[in-house]
Chain A
Amino acid sequence: DGGITQSPKYLFRKEGQNVTLSCEQNLNHDAMYWYRQDPGQGLRLIYYSQIVNDFQKGDIAEGYSVSREKKESFPLTVTSAQKNPTAFYLCASSIGKSYGDTEAFFGQGTRLTVV
C-alpha cells in the first residue's frame, strides 16, 4: 500500500537531548513537509522540501533541522535549542509543483513529549 509512515508514534525526550523523527513515503512524491500541531493553533509549517537535497524553512523552523538525502525520506531533528518541543508532529507529502501540485497527504503523526 502506498502511504506515508512516521515513526515512532510516541517519543519521550529528556531536556537537552536531540531527537530525530522519521518520515518515509512510497508515493513517489517530490515534495515533503513537516508540521507541528498544538491545541488551538492548528498546523504550523516547520520545513518543506520540493526536491532531493533542497529544503526551505517554514514559519517556525528555529530549533529544528531536516535533511533530504533521498526522495522517500525527510527526517526531522528536534534539537535542544527548541524551547517548547512537546507537540504532535505531522509529516506530509505532495506530488510536487512540476506536476501541478495540489493536495498533501499526511502520516499518522508522532507525539513528542519532553520529560
Chain B
Amino acid sequence: QKEVEQDPGPLSVPEGAIVSLNCTYSNSAFQYFMWYRQYSRKGPELLMYTYSSGNKEDGRFTAQVDKSSKYISLFIRDSQPSDSATYLCAMRVYDKVIFGPGTSLSVIP
C-alpha cells in the first residue's frame, strides 16, 4: 500500500462548479498536510498547508483534514479555467515530504 493515495483523474468540470479533490494516507505519523498546484511543465506551487484536523479557508480554496479517517480534501469554489492544473497533496513526516501522484483537473469555459 502506498503511503499516500490520490485519484489521478483526469477530472473535467464546467466553469463555476465546486471541485473536490481528495487524498488518503496510511501513516498516522504525518504532521503537516499541504496542497500544491502544478501547471504543465512548471514546478509545483504551494496552495495551502495545515497541521490540524478541521477546515482552513483561503479565498476560493478550502483544505479539510480528518486525521481520524486519514483523509484530506481540497475544495475549489467557483472554479475558473485558470484552475486547470494538476493538484498534488503532500504530507510531512519527520525529515521528508511525501507526495501523492496528483489529480489532473480541467475547468471547461
Q: Is there an interface contact between B95 and A50, defined as CB atoms closer than 8 Å?
A: yes
How many A-B residue contacts, CB cutoff 8 Å? Answer: 58
Decide yes or no: A109 and B41 within 8 Å by CB, A43-B88, A102-B32 being known contacts. Answer: yes
Residues in A with CB closer than 8 Å to B96 are: 45, 48, 58
Is there a chain B Cβ closer than 8 Å to A97's Cβ?
yes
Residue of A nearest to B47 (CB): A103
Decide yes or no: A56 and B46 within 8 Å by CB, A40-B101, A42-B101, A43-B88 being known contacts. Answer: no
Among candidates A40, A41, A56, A108, residue contacting B43 with C-beta atoms closer than 8 Å: A108
Q: Is the interface of A mostly helix, strand, loop or mixed?
A: strand
Interface bits A57-96 vs B (CB < 8 Å: 1, else 0): 0100000000000000000000000000000101010100
B interface bracket (residues with beta carbon within 8 Å of A): 20 to 34
A41 to B5: give the CA distance in the assembly, Å.
Answer: 11
How many residues of chain A are within 8 Å of chain B by beta carbon? 29
Question: Taking the nearest CB of chain A, how far is it from the CB of B89, in angstroms?
Answer: 10
Interface bits B87-101 vs A (CB < 8 Å: 1, else 0): 010101011111111
Is there a chain A Cβ closer than 8 Å to B66's Cβ?
no
Residue of B nearest to A109 (CB): B43
A56 to B94: give the CA distance in the assembly, Å.
Answer: 13
Residues in B with CB closer than 8 Å to A94 are: 97
Decide yes or no: A103 and B49 within 8 Å by CB, A41-B101, A42-B100, A111-B41 being known contacts. Answer: yes
7 contacts between A and B (CB under 8 A): A6-B43, A42-B100, A42-B101, A42-B102, A43-B44, A104-B90, A105-B46
